[in-house]
Amino acid sequence: MHPDKEAERNEILMERLKPYIYSIFIFLCFGGFNIVSKVSLDRGMNQYVLVAYGFAFGTLTSTVLALLFERKNQSKLNLPICLYIFFLGFLGVIARILYYAGIQYTSPAFAAAMNNLNPSVTFVLALLCRLEKLDVTKLNGQAIIGGTIISFVGAALMTLYKGITLISMHSTHNHRHATSKVSLYRNLMKGSVILLVQSLSISAYFILQTITIKKYPAPLTLTSLMSLAGTLIATVAAAILNHRASSWKLSWDITLLAALYSGILLLGISTYIQALVVRKRGPVFMTAFTPLSTLVTAIMSLLILGEALHLGGVVGGTLIIIGLYVILWGKEDQKRQKTFEPAVCEEQDIEAKAEK
């Protein structure tokens, strides 16, 4: 094969792989964040202050990146886009506050498992907003529905069924033994409701981000402005809901790491990469990788927090991965048919003209 053609082929392959690589990176980051934030909150970090610091560091990071890579940005702001940016910041703050509340009532593994609802919720919202199309008569449409159901069943299995203990790391970090079953059940119910609302808010965020990035195609600048809006909203919320000035003090420990991790890696870099993925492949494709953060969180919870690994977690995780691949196959086949059908129609038009 000619070197130029080989290079072109590799470039095309890399372009196709980028959304997958980016999405995997994002949710690996989320998996680590689940553990870091839980440890930070357990050590006394205020959840509202942590949200405010996260958005502040995210604003700083994304602004620096925007100045470096989008200095020649020609996109213009108008009132509708400014409103979109404000609501993106608002939804981001609400989702983060609800997540911190939910993780305190449950556990990182449970919260990560609940986040597997995001692909299905996002898909339903995308259908309602006409950002996605689904033909249930075609195999790819049935695959997307079936994969979503399989992933949901796997997440539910991880959450509701423990089964026998496969691996147990006896750790003093695990405080569940000291909690009564009734209290544990109540916390689980509260946490489940909170995380369900969080799933709705984050799915709405993905939909609004998809709409906004089409109207303002400058992802780094958009991320910076959204983080700035989130910083202002989160700071006001923290000032109202938390009156202790000492809560804003950052020490050289896990609390500082959690704020930096949340701001730089998630709200700064990952949000920008997220915008690239949803602009290229849509919100459903990106959220389909959510199960990866569940598996990463389950492994890290075992090694760091000492949470036991049960049979239900292993079987549920396997179902989640199967569901993920089924959804991705459906999306890929859907995309292939979209590019194939116009080519067929064009060929038929040429043949019809030739016959005339």
Write down the residue that tokens 């859907």 correspond to: 334
* Contact assessment for residue 158 and residue 316, using Cβ atoms and an 8 Å cutoff: yes
pLDDT at 27: 84
The per-residue pLDDT for 335 is 75
User: pTM, whole model, 2 decimals?
Assistant: 0.78
What pLDDT is attached to residue 104? 87
Given this model, what pLDDT does residue 95 score? 93
Per-residue pLDDT 10s for the chain (356 aa) are 566 677 778 788 888 888 888 888 888 888 888 888 888 888 888 999 999 999 999 999 989 988 888 888 888 889 999 999 999 999 999 999 999 999 888 888 778 877 777 777 777 788 787 777 777 888 888 888 888 788 778 777 766 776 777 776 654 444 444 445 667 667 777 888 898 899 899 889 988 988 898 899 888 899 899 999 999 999 999 999 887 888 888 888 888 888 899 888 887 888 788 878 887 877 777 777 877 787 788 788 877 777 767 787 778 777 877 887 787 788 778 877 776 655 445 555 555 555 55
- pLDDT, residue 247, reads 84
- Please give the pLDDT value at position 322: 84
Region class of 306: left (phi > 0), else alpha (psi between -120 and 50), else beta: left
Q: Measured between alpha carbons, how far is 47 from 37 in angstroms, rounded to an integer?
A: 9
Contact 109, 307 (CB under 8 A): yes
